[in-house]
Structure 1
Amino acid sequence: MDNNVRVWLYDILNALQEIDGFLGVDQFSFATYQQDLRTKRAVERNIEIIGEALNRICLCDETIIISHARKIVDTRNRIIHGYDSVSDEIIWSIVIYHLPILKIEIEEILGE
């Protein structure tokens, strides 16, 4: 595996761990998330990082398969370029349902 790809995979893993740290285990409900601007921005920023790293990986190594990579990159683009149309509900859904799957995939690729 290319060294850059490995670094980007660890960037994704780091961002996922930061999101977990921001939200804690069962500390945040959706209502709490909606009211906490700092946490929302921190989560969105980490999703941006994840999307950018995935984009770089996809361009560099087509053999690495990550579920929904294109959708994650598209979400990154929407947060950055369509910031006024970012929905708390969509971000929360991504965090709860999709990021745990992504974490498993990244750990498997890295052999952790």
Structure 2
Amino acid sequence: MICETYLESVFMESTVERQWGILGEEFRRISIEFQHLHPEIDWRNAINLRNILVNRYDQVLSEVIWNIVTGVLPRLLVQVEALLPPLPDDS
């Protein structure tokens, strides 16, 4: 079910789309070699969604974006965070 707040707020929709655009752009900058080492991450679809949001924004369906944000993004974040080095200990 789609979040009514999301649909009713141009600001919320724009923010979500902008952040996904940034994520997709960063994924695009990751080397193909690294992407191939981590095939569990759907690099291509994240990049493709970024391209749609940036270049074909007039065709974006809010319901589809919301379903991706709630259904795909949580798993994607876990997969990407697993690749990050640990933060330095501040103690």
TM-score range, shorter chain: 0.7 to 0.9
Q: Tell me the SS of whatever aligns to 1:93.
A: helix
- Structure 1 runs not aligned, ≥5 long: 1-28
Contact (CA 8 Å) 2:21, 2:53: kept in 1 or not?
yes
Between structure 1 and structure 2, the one with the greater Rg is: 2
Structure 1 counterpart of 2:28: 55
Structure 2: 5+ residue stretches without partners: 87-91
Q: Which has the higher helix share?
A: 1
After TM superposition, the runs of 4+ consecutive aligned structure 1 residues lying more than 6 A away are none
The one-letter amino acid of 2:73's match is L
Aligned equivalent of 1:89: 63
Q: Work out the CA distance in 2 between the residues paired with 1:58 and 1:91.
A: 26
In the alignment, is residue 36 of structure 1 matched against residue 5 of structure 2?
Answer: no
Q: Percent identity?
A: 31
Distance 1:97 1:79 in 2: 18
Matches of 1:75 and 1:94 in 2, distance apart? 10
